[in-house]
Amino acid sequence: MNTAYLDWNATAPLRPEALAAMLAALEAGGNPSSIHAAGRAARRTVEHARAAVAALVNVESKQVVFTGGGTEANNLAIFGTAPERLIVSAIEHDAVLAAAHSTDMPVTLASAGADGVVDVAAFDAAGPGTLVSLMLANNETGVLQPVAELAARAKARGALVHCDAVQAAGKIPVDFAALGVDLLTLSAHKLGGPQGVGALIVRDGIDLDPVQRGGGQERGLRAGTENVAGIAGFGAAAAACDPAAYAAIHALRDAMERRLLEIAPEVMVFGASRPRLANTTCIRMPGVLAETQVMALDLAGLAVSAGSACSSGKVRPSHVLTAMGHDEAAARQAIRISLGWSTTADEIDRLVAAWGSLYSRTRSRQ
> DSSP class of residue 14?
P
Of 240, 272, 299, the residue that ends a domain is 240
Say yes or no: 187 and 329 in one domain. Answer: no
Question: In which domain, by residue range, is 324 found?
Answer: 4-12+243-364
Say yes or no: 60 and 84 in one domain. Answer: yes
Q: Is the pLDDT assigned to residue 138 strictly greater than 80?
A: yes
Say yes or no: 108 and 59 in one domain. Answer: yes
Say yes or no: 226 and 313 in one domain. Answer: no
Q: Is the pLDDT assigned to residue 179 strictly greater than 70?
A: yes
Of 224, 240, 256, the residue that ends a domain is 240
pLDDT value of residue 247: 87
CB 73 within 8 A of CB 200: yes
Say yes or no: 208 and 252 in one domain. Answer: no
Of 279, 195, 203, the closest CA to residue 245 belongs to 279
Of 183, 218, 240, the residue that ends a domain is 240
Say yes or no: 187 and 249 in one domain. Answer: no
Say yes or no: 163 and 251 in one domain. Answer: no
Say yes or no: 24 and 169 in one domain. Answer: yes
- What digits encode the pLDDT tens for the residues 49-94? 999 999 999 999 999 999 999 999 999 999 999 999 999 999 999 9
Say yes or no: 247 and 236 in one domain. Answer: no
Burial class (CB in 10 A: 0-12, 13-18, 19+), 218: buried
> Do strands 280-284 and 268-269 pair parallel, antiparallel, or not at all (unpaired)?
antiparallel
Q: How many domains does the chain have?
A: 2
Say yes or no: 53 and 136 in one domain. Answer: yes
Helix (H, G, I), strand (E, B) or coil at 131: strand
Angle at 169 between CA 207 and CA 62, to 5 degrees: 35
CATH assignment at residue 115 = 3.40.640.10
Q: Which residues pair with 137 in a beta bridge?
A: 144
| pTM of this structure | 0.95
- What digits encode the pLDDT tens for the residues 250-297? 999 999 999 999 999 999 999 999 999 999 999 999 999 999 999 999
CATH assignment at residue 279 = 3.90.1150.10
Say yes or no: 193 and 80 in one domain. Answer: yes
241 belongs to the catalytic site: no
Taking each helix axis from N to C end, the angle separating 246-263 and 345-364, rounded to the nearest 10 degrees, works out to 20
- What digits encode the pLDDT tens for the residues 164-177? 999 999 999 999 99
